[in-house]
Amino acid sequence: MTKSFYYFIANNGFQRIAFDLVGLFGVLYLYKLFGNSVELSIGLLSLIYILMPFFTFLFLPFMEKIGTRKSIILGGTISVLSVIPMFYFETRIWLYFALWVCLASIAKVFYYIPYHYYTVKFTEGNGRGKQMSFVNSLILFLSVLTPLIGGFATQYWGVVGIAMMTIFFAILAVIPLFKIEDYHFKISENMMGLLVQPDLQQTLKLLVITEFQAKETFWQLYIFIFVGSSFGNFGIIISLATLLTIPLLLFFGKFSDHHNKKWFIRVHGVVSSIIWVACTLVNSLFQVVFVDILNKVNYNIRNQTLGIVLYDLANKDKQDDLLDEKIILRESFDNLALGLGLLSGAVIVYFFGFAGVFIFAAIVALLFTRV
């Protein structure tokens, strides 16, 4: 692994904290601000992802021109700007919420398109599992503090605390980027024609299943409610569960390089289904912590395994000339599926409560056994 790769890891670790602080504690804050409304808090979050395909194609010519490094720096900068409307959330003027949604969506577009490009470039197919487990473990180690920082910042300073900590980590994330290589996208006019390729169809199928069963945001909101809507207690529980996943993730990454990854995905589908059902049965703090640890381990193993498979598919047969287009299409469909998955989950909670959304996730997770 090159020095550029380590700088890239440092950037991703700090930027992930910045995004997660808003994505997690921003939602919890909105939940309380809107009078314990799951629908409004999750609905606003879903709009960030639903708008990302639109902003991707809108800004793609500009990103082609400035290159990957400037794009990812700009993404981090816009993520800092996106927290400014949060200072005015207490006014409940919807213009500020709309501005936050748009800026957050644009920031993620400028950040994650180059992020996936760099990940494919910096990792190798044969050892990608071990390399990505190392990356994810380092990022997880950095992010262990995120719930603690976010929990206590929100507890004592509210949305201002979230905003200030987000700005701090987003600025830290920009510094390592000046040490990494710069690449330029070259998008062909026939990009949509790639949708007929079997490897891209397999990628999109995996992404849709993943995002519609990924109801971790609802589980975390459920934990928050379970601990009495205490930001501090919530932060402690999430940090503990995150810390315990790191050694398991390192072991699994090395192990996965020598075993059939699709078999792991199928097994994950069954395990996920069982865990989601278990989420409906918890009735004590010990059970919540135990199930959350299982959920965290399963979540990170799933993301790592799917990440390896999807990056392998993106770089299948060393099709470097099509890599840019595959990344664009992957991100567009992934974010649209994630946004619609969150929105559908909010509707299910409205009619059937949290148990309904967990059962829905359990059913969708079984689709992994069909890949």
What share of the chain in percent tops pLDDT 70? Answer: 84
Q: How far is CA 178 from the centre of its chain?
A: 24
| pLDDT confidence bin for 338, thresholds 50/70/90 | very high
Q: Does residue 165 belong to any structural domain of this protein?
A: yes
What confidence tens digit (pLDDT) does each residue in 273-314 have? 999 999 999 988 888 888 988 888 788 777 777 777 666 666
Q: What is the pLDDT of residue 127?
A: 58
| pLDDT confidence bin for 96, thresholds 50/70/90 | very high
Higher pLDDT, 186 or 292: 292
| pLDDT confidence bin for 189, thresholds 50/70/90 | low
Give me the mean pLDDT over the 241-254 stretch: 69
Q: Does residue 261 belong to any structural domain of this protein?
A: yes
Long-range pairs, 86-90, Cβ under 8 A, ≥24: 86/22, 86/26, 86/159, 86/162, 86/163, 87/159, 87/160, 87/163, 89/29, 89/30, 89/33, 89/159, 90/33, 90/159
- What CATH number did the domain enclosing 160 receive? 1.20.1250.20
Closest CA to 68 of 123, 121, 131: 121
Higher pLDDT, 244 or 214: 214
Q: Does residue 187 belong to any structural domain of this protein?
A: no
Q: Does residue 29 belong to any structural domain of this protein?
A: yes
Q: Does residue 107 belong to any structural domain of this protein?
A: yes
Provide the sign of the torsion angle of the four alpha carbons 94, 96, 99, 103, taken in this order.
negative
- Token pair belonging to 289: 């912590």
Higher pLDDT, 10 or 318: 10
129 has pLDDT over 70: no
Q: Does residue 186 belong to any structural domain of this protein?
A: no
Q: What is the pLDDT of residue 48?
A: 95
What confidence tens digit (pLDDT) does each residue in 79-88 have? 889 988 988 8
Q: Does residue 207 belong to any structural domain of this protein?
A: yes
Q: Does residue 185 belong to any structural domain of this protein?
A: no
| pLDDT confidence bin for 74, thresholds 50/70/90 | very high
336 has pLDDT over 70: yes
| pLDDT confidence bin for 27, thresholds 50/70/90 | confident
Q: What is the pLDDT of residue 311?
A: 65
User: What pTM did the predictor assign?
Assistant: 0.87
| pLDDT confidence bin for 233, thresholds 50/70/90 | confident
| Domain membership of residue 285 as a residue range | 3-175+194-370
Q: What is the pLDDT of residue 240?
A: 77
266 has pLDDT over 80: yes
Total domains in the fold of the chain = 1
DSSP secondary structure of 166-195: HHHHHHHHHGGGGGS--------TTGGGGG
Q: What is the pLDDT of residue 188?
A: 67
Q: What is the DSSP-derived secondary structure letter of residue 21?
A: I
| pLDDT confidence bin for 41, thresholds 50/70/90 | very high
Closest CA to 174 of 29, 47, 295, 10: 10
Q: What is the pLDDT of residue 250?
A: 65
